[in-house]
Each structure stands twice: as C-alpha cells, then as structure tokens.
Amino acid sequence: MKASYIAVCALLLLLLARAQITVAVTCNPTQLSPCVSAITSSSAPSTVCCGKIKEQKPCLCQYLKNPNLKKFVNSPNARKVANTCGTPFPKC
C-alpha cells in the first residue's frame, strides 16, 4: 500500500512538472514602449524590449487591425526587432 501511494505521488509530481501554466496576456500597446527607440532607429533592442515583444506577441494581430498602430507595428524595423528578439512575426 505504501509503495503504491509513493508511486501515485511520484506520477502526480511528474504530471504537474510537465503541465504548462497559461497566463492571460493583457493587450496593451503601451507595453511596447521600451521598443520605440529600436523600432524608430537602428539601435539594438534591449532585453526589456525583447521581453515585452514576447509577452505581447499574442496581441500583435490585434494591433495590426488598429489603423493607428498598424504603421508602427507593421514597419520593417518592427519586424526586424521582433526577429532580433527571437520572436518571429505572426501570420495574421
């Protein structure tokens, strides 16, 4: 009985370790403000910028639908920054 209890606990721990935690992203284009200098100039993106791009990636298609944001988000430099950060631009 004790061995089966330990086996069940071990299995449960393995399952929990493999479970992915899903966190809802709040789409807020101002979160990309650390990327403004990298997108508007030739400067390299900061680690903060890359983190924000990865965080906001699920929102990029929504931003592209907004006429006020589309020019900024869809610019060649924005795509370059996203690629530099290791976050390929989504196909919307």
Q: At what angle do helices 47-56 and 76-84 cross, to 10 degrees?
A: 100
**Is there a domain that residue 21 lies in?**
no
**Is there a domain that residue 1 lies in?**
no
Residue type, 11: L
**Is there a domain that residue 6 lies in?**
no
**Is there a domain that residue 48 lies in?**
yes
> What is the pLDDT at residue 38?
94
**Is there a domain that residue 63 lies in?**
yes
Domain span including residue 55: 26-84
Number of domain units in the chain: 1
Report the CATH number that the domain containing residue 62 is assigned in CATH: 1.10.110.10
**Is there a domain that residue 19 lies in?**
no
**pLDDT one digit per residue (tens) for the chain, 92 residues:** 554 434 333 333 433 444 444 456 799 999 999 999 999 987 899 999 999 999 999 999 999 999 999 988 889 999 999 999 999 888 88
Tokens of 51: 């983190």
